[in-house]
Amino acid sequence: MEEMHKNVLDYVKREYLDDDQEIGLDSPLISSGIVDSFSMVSLKRFLEKKYSISIPDDKATPEAFDTVNKICVLVHEFNKK
């Protein structure tokens, strides 16, 4: 597992899951209700801070944030810019 994937997965588990819940890199986060639209703001803030990027609001969609894998694709997109 890439380090970014591990960091994002660990953060989501720590901040949004209850003790006995488990998720993987492709587990739905938004569509399952684990992270709702209001909580997405704090997840976006974490990513921006951690990877020193700025994600435009129109890119921070429920679809783009729905799994750890998809989130990492988004972060990579803005890491390069």
> Residue numbers of the site for another protein (CB under 8 A)?
15, 18-21, 28-39, 41-42, 45-46, 49, 61-63, 66
- Kindly tell me which of 1 and 14 has the beta carbon lying closer to another protein: 14
- If phi > 0 it is left, if psi is from -120 to 50 it is alpha, else beta; for residue 33 that is left
- Kindly tell me which of 2 and 21 has the beta carbon lying closer to another protein: 21
Q: Nearest approach, Cβ of 78 to another protein (angstroms)? A: 16
Q: Which residues contact 7 (CB under 8 A, 6 or more apart)?
A: 50
